Amino acid sequence: MTDKQITSYPKEKINILLLENISDTAVKFFKDNGYTSVKKITGALSEEDLIREVKDVHLLGIRSKTQITPRVLDAAKKLQAIGCFCIGVNQVDLKYAKQQGVAVFNAPYSNTRSVAELVIGLSILLIRRIVDKNKAAHEGIWLKDAKGSYEMRGKTLGIVGYGNIGTQVSVLAEALGMQVIFYDTITKLPLGNAVAKKSLKDLVSQADIITLHVPETNSTKNLINKNVIKNFKKGSILINYARGEVVDLEALAKALQEGQMSGAAVDVYPWEPEKNGDKFTTPLQGLPNVILTPHIGGSTEEAQQNIGEDVSNKLFQYLEMGVSIGSHTVPPLSLPPQEGAHRILHVHRNVPGVLSAINTTLANNKINILGQYLKTNDEIGYVVLDLDRKISNTAVNLLKEVKDTIKVRLLY
């Protein structure tokens, strides 16, 4: 097998669609690897527009705005994989994608440093009340005053969600001389001198600054509500650079207006505009010592480049070698290419007897299996077969007829 002949399907006929202004790093990656049919669109698409665009697409790249619904997946008959060029995958109907045998990848670590640095920066601005002083200076008012301004050193930072971002924030905060406490529903090993708290109430009642780094799930919706805010330390600060549904913004606004809290920084909202320039409203607008940003927590040049490289490489590895490590839908398999063989990928419903049917079908047609790998999850099974080159096309047609088959692809 030569480098020029990796896939059985001509590279120029593989259609790649990238939405939401995904980094040009991704475009360059695919073109450098011989894929010439790469289309990039600046914004997100509505469901109807996406259904029209995705008809002949093999690889689809999105960020957080594009919604991948069952209707979209039904329309994408040639779709092999979706790359979410961001941290989350909640914009994709994962259950339906799994049933369709579509691999879904993301970049869970690539922008963690960008978010962590910004959280520390926001903490300094808020605890020093720089927001109010900046506003006054722009309005021509000289507001030289130390009242209500504090150092970070010696203060307590409370981290809700001690994962990839939370742990990096923890390390940076300790470097500034802060005491770090954290709360997570899963037992986590503390870094440095960080201390785990047994409950959210314990954390918010002790922290001067609370920063949220949790996913959007049913259990985290309105995690920070009026009842929880009542337990906040008076004069504390809240930072939400996690997910929009995690905080009850009306309750937060009331706490800020009444002086229960002294400041907040919010980057994500229950509702967000579709594109730049659209009107945006939130109950937090106009409140003192509040920083509002338009979902840019991980938006740095470095993060976008890292995400572009990470997700593109995962899509490429799946397309050319069948490697599914990091997929949220297709069971994880990683294996080297086999010389002197053709590789076939078989995705099927995870029911008893499919592997036996595959082997029986091939054996009955005197097709020799040189290598075989199987991995399953709750919904589907993923088999990689290395077969004799002479009869690989026959094998593909036979495997398509195996009961409970979802997808069959001749890789090379």
CB 67 within 8 A of CB 91: yes
Q: Which residue among 117, 272, 309, 379 is the active-site one? A: 272
Task: Answer whether 283's CB lies under 8 Å from 269's CB.
Answer: no
Nearest by Cα to 392 from 1, 8, 4: 8
Show Cβ contacts of residue 71 under 8 Å, excluding neighbours closer than 6 positions.
Answer: 47, 51
Could you confirm whether 295 is annotated as catalytic? yes
H helical segments located in 128-261: 130-138, 164-175, 200-206, 226-229, 249-257
Cβ neighbours around 64 below 10 Å, total: 19
Q: Where are the alpha helices (DSSP H) in 236-344?
A: 249-257, 301-321
- Give the H/E segment covering residue 98: helix 94-99
Q: In residues, how long is the chain?
A: 412
Residue 15 CA to residue 35 CA, distance in Å, equals 8
Q: Is residue 47 flagged as an active site residue?
A: no
DSSP 21-89: T--HHHHHHHHHTT---EEE-SS---HHHHHHHTTT-SEEEE-SS--B-HHHHHH-TT--EEEE-SS--
Choosing from 243, 342, 346, 348, the catalytic residue is 243
Catalytic pick among 71, 216, 295, 320? 295
Are 374 and 355 within 8 A, CB to CB? yes
> Do the beta carbons of residue 280 and residue 273 sit within 8 Å?
yes
Q: Active-site residue 272, yes or no?
A: yes
Instruction: Output Rg (C-alpha) for the chain, integer angstroms.
Output: 25
User: Distance between CA 168 and CA 158 in Å, rounded?
Assistant: 13
Classify the C-alpha dihedral 296-301-305-306 as positive or negative: negative
Catalytic residue positions? 243, 272, 295
